[in-house]
Each structure stands twice: as C-alpha cells, then as structure tokens.
Structure 1
Amino acid sequence: MAEAIFAGGCFWCTEAVFKQLAGVNSVESGYIGGSVVNPDYKLVCTGTTGHAEAIRIGFDESVISLADLLDIYFATHDPTQLNRQGNDIGTQYRSAVFPLDDAQRAEAEAAIIRAQPDWPAPIVTTIEAATTWYPAEDYHQDYWDGEGQRNSYCLAVIPPKLAKLKKGFAERLA
C-alpha cells in the first residue's frame, strides 16, 4: 500500500472527500510540518506550532494513482488561498503536499501545473518536506461519518466538496 500526505484546510473536510474513493484503503487525520513534539488539537489550533491539519492516505496504486489523488485534491479545495480555507484562517489550514520521496515531489509539481488553468488566481500550495506525522486524537478520525453530520460547520463545507468530487470524478468513487 502506498501513502500520500495532503493538507487542504480542516482535516475533517479533506478526510470526508478521500474516504469516498475506490482504491483508498485508509484516511487518517493528523498533524505534520511543525516544530513541537506530540502536538494536540488545541495547541495546533493556536497556529504557533507550525503544523498543518493534514490527512495521510493509504491507497492501492493498482486502483488509483497518486496523480489521480492529487488531481482530486486540487479540485476539492481552494489551492489559491494562502494559509486559509474559507473561514479557517492560519498556517495550520495551509494548502500543502508532503511528498514521501522524490517521485511524489515530481508528481506534486506536475499536478500544480495541471490544476493551474482551473483556478483564476495563482496556486499557492506548498510542497514541504514530510516531517514527523502525528495522528490526531481519536475523536477527529472518521469525523464526517459520525459527529460531522450534526456539525453546522461541516454541513456547510463538506457537501459542496463531495458534490465537486461526484461531478468531476464519479468514475473514481467507491
């Protein structure tokens, strides 16, 4: 199984998108890219640790490629917003790809080039070295499938992302 790590705003929202895909075996919410050891949600939310809310995707490359995952990533969040997604503001909500090797870095660079024509402003997604991954607390995992469908924030943000996914990538749905 291959892995990829993306940050695209609130991890509840990105997790909900990637869990819908054929070939995706796991999606874990967590923190990456910061300087504090063993950060927790409350600390990351202060924006002082340098971590991004991110997802670690386990996927079967014989079913879905990293290029496909990256295309879906760029289509289902706004990669033109610096250090924010909608009302979520701060570096912890940045758009970033954390490649696990040089091949993934090259794929991310190519995906940015492919995605740019679809956006009216420059893509500001960063490609950052993959540092230590810290899984988020248990209550953040599978959030949309549980608490998220009763959370007004999630109800406002996630269904439009899922609609974009279904419209543009129906052949990739599980």
Structure 2
Amino acid sequence: MDKNNVQQITFGGGCFWCVESCFNMLKGVESAISGYSGGHKDNPTYEEICTGGTGHAEVVQITYDPVIISYDQLMDVFFFLHDPTQLNRQGNDIGTQYRSVIFYKDDSEKQRAENSIKESEATEKWGGKYVTELAPFEKFWAAEQYHQGYYNVNPNQPYCSAVVGPKIQKFKKHFGELGMLKDSE
C-alpha cells in the first residue's frame, strides 16, 4: 500500500462494530476506525451519543489506497452492509446515532456519493427509497478503545453472536468470492 496515496472516507451504517470489522478485512483498506461524526459536541462519549442528544452518528472512518480499492467499491460494500431505506435505525438499533450517512469532503465527493446512492437504489436490492443522509465532513472523533476491533475481541457477546457474526459471515462469503478480502481473511 502506498502511504502517500491513501484517502479517507467516513460513513455510518448502523452499529459500528460490524461495519468496522468488515471494512478492515478488505484489500486496500489500511484501517477502519469506529467513531462519531455529525454532531455538535466535541469529544463525545459513547454514553452521550447513545442518548441521541449530541447529533452524532456511529461511523467508521476508512483509510484506503484507491489504487487497490476504489471509492465505488467502498460504496458497494457500504450499501451491502446496511439497509439504507431505514430511517434512523438498523434492525433493532434505533435512534439518529444509527442513521445511514455519508460524510463528504468536497463537491466532487458529494457528487460521487449522490451517484452511488442512485446506482445502488436502482438495483432495488433493498426495495425502497434510500434515506441515506449526505453531510459535509467536519470532525471525526475516534470511539473509545474498547470499541475498536470489538467483534474480534468479543465474538461471543450476545449482540455480536446474534447480529454482527452472521452479517460478517454473509459479507465474507460475498466479497471473498469477488477476491476483495485480505489474504488472512
């Protein structure tokens, strides 16, 4: 991976434990870090954002090499991992902190995100209108250390075994068949 060529993208698609785990498995992804964006409080804590009062979403900030994995491929993964037709929720995770959101850094990235939404919506995979929010990127706050790699450390935790684990297995099957996973996955 060319460290001089890396780019970042930040988005939320429900609970960050699954999103972060899956993106870290992809070839071309240097890191996927769980955190918070889109709110009005500096240095928010998990407990604060869970109230919905800070305006933050649970997000993952992905650092990637666009020579190895493209922006469009990252968007395909993003729309695979969550249901973008659910407003302020993913399954039983309910609240604005679980919203579907893409944070863009400039007009070009906003246009690319709009195009990705339209293309994915046209596939009718999710059978409805997408409610994915597009918002300008302002700040990213890394989540507490215990959230980083949470699934890898806690695969038997009830939420992980019931929700995260099955999603990761589905992800590995699909993207493994496409040859997009790191060799160790």
The match for 1:137 is: 144
How far is the alpha carbon of 1:122 from its aligned partner?
Answer: 0.7
Amino acid at match of 1:51: H
How far is the alpha carbon of 1:142 from its aligned partner?
Answer: 1.0
Q: Does 1:173 align with 2:181?
A: yes
The match for 2:7 is: 2
The match for 2:44 is: 39
Q: Does 1:153 align with 2:159?
A: yes
Q: TM-score, with normalisation over the residues of structure 1?
A: 0.95
Which of 124, 148, 161 does residue 131 from structure 2 map onto?
A: 124
The match for 1:67 is: 72
Q: What's the CA shift string for 1:97-117, capped at 9, x where partnerless?
A: 001222221221111111112
Please give the residue correspondences for 1:76-115 in structure 2 after superposition, counting only pairs within 5 Å.
76-115=81-120
Amino acid at match of 1:142: G
Q: List structure 1 segments (4+ residues) > 6 angstroms apart after TM superposition.
A: none
8 Å contact from structure 1 (residues 77, 161) kept in 2: no
Output the CA distance in 2 between the equivalents of 1:150 and 1:103: 42
How far is the alpha carbon of 1:27 from its aligned partner?
Answer: 0.8
Q: What's the CA shift string for 1:148-174, capped at 9, x where partnerless?
A: x02110111123322332343222111
Output the CA distance in 2 between the equivalents of 1:106 and 1:58: 20
> What is the count of residue pairs matched by the alignment?
173
Q: TM-score, with normalisation over the residues of structure 2?
A: 0.89
Output the CA distance in 2 between the equivalents of 1:163 and 1:63: 23
Gaps of 5+ in 1: none
Q: Residues 113 and 168 of structure 1: is their aligned pair in 2 closer, same or farther, counting only changes over 3 Å?
A: farther
Percent identity (aligned): 47
The CA RMSD over aligned residues, in Å, is: 1.1
